[in-house]
C-alpha cells in the first residue's frame, strides 16, 4: 500500500510546504493542515453509496477528488502520509462513546485512529473523529489536560481501556475507549462496512460534516450549521432553509463537491 501512495500530491492537497522530518513539528503541522483542508464527511454512507478504504480508492477520493471522508478513509490516508515521511505508525481502533451514557455497554470497534512514535514517545493521532476532530497529536499519557489550538483533550482509563475525552462547555465528554492492540487492514474493511451500512449508526442516517481551521471549528448536522471556538464554545448557529443554501455551505465552507445532487442530500436531512 505504501508503494502506491503519492506523497507529493497529498502535500499539495493540504498545502504543506514545510519540513518533512519525522519529528513533532512536522507531525503537528501535517495534522493541522489535514483537518483544515480535508473535512470529515460521510455523504456516501448517507446516500447509500459504497465506501472503499483501500489506499488507491482513498487517494482518488480525498486527494485527487474534492471530497472529504470519515474516520477509516481519513486515517488510512494520514497513516500512509506519515509512514512516507518516516514516522513509525500503528493503526488502532476505538469504541465510540460520544453519545453514550456512562453505564451504556461498549459498542463495536467502529472508529480508527493512529499511534505515532516521536522521539521514542507514543502519541495519539486522529484526523477522523467527525464530531470533535483533533487538530494536533496528544501524548499517550494518562491524566494531564492537553491543549491544542482548537481544543483541550485528556487521556484517561475506564474498564481496563484507555479513553480520550474533550473539554466542552458542559464539561468533559468521552470521545471513545480504546486499547493498544495494532489492527490490520482487514479489521478496517470490516469496521468500515458496518459503519457505512448499518441503520443503527449516525453515518447512514445523519448528515454530518466538520472542518477545523486554525481559528474556528465548522460543523454541519443535518440542517443545522454551527461555528465553534475553542473547546466547543458556540459562536454562531443557524438553521439552513433550502437545498441551495446547503449546497453553498458544502461548497464554500467545507470545500466539497457532493457525489449526488444537493437536492438529494437535502431530502435525506431533517430539521
CA 107 distance to own-chain centroid: 19
User: What strand order describes the sheet that includes 171-178?
Assistant: 138-139, 121-125, 111-118, 88-96, 171-178, 161-168, 152-158, 145-147
| Known catalytic residue at 126 | yes
Q: How many CB atoms lie within 10 A of CB 131?
A: 17
- Of the residues 71, 185, 187, 231, only one is catalytic, namely 71
| Known catalytic residue at 132 | no
Name, in order, each residue with C-beta under 8 angstroms of 8's C-beta and a sequence gap of 6 or more: none
- Of the residues 126, 132, 179, 187, only one is catalytic, namely 126
Task: Evaluate the CA torsion angle 92, 155, 220, 127 in order and state its sign.
Answer: negative
- Of the residues 111, 135, 179, 231, only one is catalytic, namely 111
Helical pair 24-37 and 7-14, crossing angle rounded to 10 deg? 70
Pairwise CA distance, residues 242 & 85, whole Å = 43
| Known catalytic residue at 231 | no
Q: Please return the burial class of 46, using the count of CB atoms within 10 Å of its CB with bins 0-12, 13-18 and 19+.
A: buried
Bridge partners of residue 121, in order along the sequence:
118
Distance from first CA to last CA of the chain, Å, rounded?
41
Give catalytic residues, as residue numbers: 71, 111, 126
Amino acid at each position: 500500500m505504501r508503494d502506491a501512495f503519492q506523497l507529493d500530491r497529498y502535500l499539495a492537497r493540504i498545502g504543506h510546504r514545510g519540513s518533512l522530518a519525522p519529528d513533532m513539528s512536522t507531525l503537528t503541522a501535517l495534522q493541522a493542515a489535514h483537518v483544515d483542508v480535508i473535512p470529515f464527511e460521510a455523504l456516501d454512507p448517507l446516500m447509500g453509496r459504497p465506501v472503499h478504504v483501500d489506499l488507491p480508492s482513498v487517494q482518488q477520493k480525498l486527494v485527487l477528488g474534492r471530497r472529504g471522508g470519515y474516520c477509516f478513509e481519513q486515517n488510512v490516508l494520514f497513516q500512509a502520509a506519515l509512514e512516507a515521511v518516516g514516522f513509525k505508525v500503528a493503526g488502532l481502533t476505538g469504541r465510540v462513546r460520544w453519545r453514550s451514557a456512562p453505564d451504556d455497554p461498549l459498542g463495536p470497534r467502529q472508529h480508527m485512529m493512529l499511534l505515532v512514535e516521536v522521539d521514542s514517545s507514543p502519541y495519539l493521532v486522529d484526523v477522523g473523529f467527525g464530531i470533535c476532530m483533533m487538530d494536533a497529536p496528544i501524548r499517550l499519557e494518562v491524566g494531564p489536560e492537553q491543549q491544542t489550538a482548537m481544543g483541550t483533550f485528556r487521556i484517561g482509563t475506564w474498564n481496563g481501556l484507555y479513553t480520550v475525552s474533550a473539554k466542552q462547555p458542559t464539561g468533559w465528554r468521552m470521545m471513545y475507549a480504546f486499547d493498544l492492540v495494532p489492527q490490520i487492514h482487514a479489521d478496517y474493511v470490516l469496521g468500515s462496512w458496518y459503519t457505512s451500512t448499518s441503520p443503527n449508526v449516525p453515518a447512514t442516517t445523519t448528515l454530518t460534516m466538520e472542518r477545523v481551521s486554525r481559528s474556528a471549528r465548522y460543523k454541519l448536522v443535518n440542517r443545522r450549521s454551527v461555528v465553534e471556538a475553542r473547546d466547543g464554545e458556540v459562536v454562531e448557529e443557524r438553521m439552513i432553509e433550502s437545498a441551495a443554501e446547503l449546497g453553498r455551505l458544502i461548497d464554500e465552507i467545507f470545500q466539497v463537491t457532493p457525489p449526488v445532487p444537493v437536492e438529494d442530500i437535502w431530502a435525506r436531512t431533517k430539521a
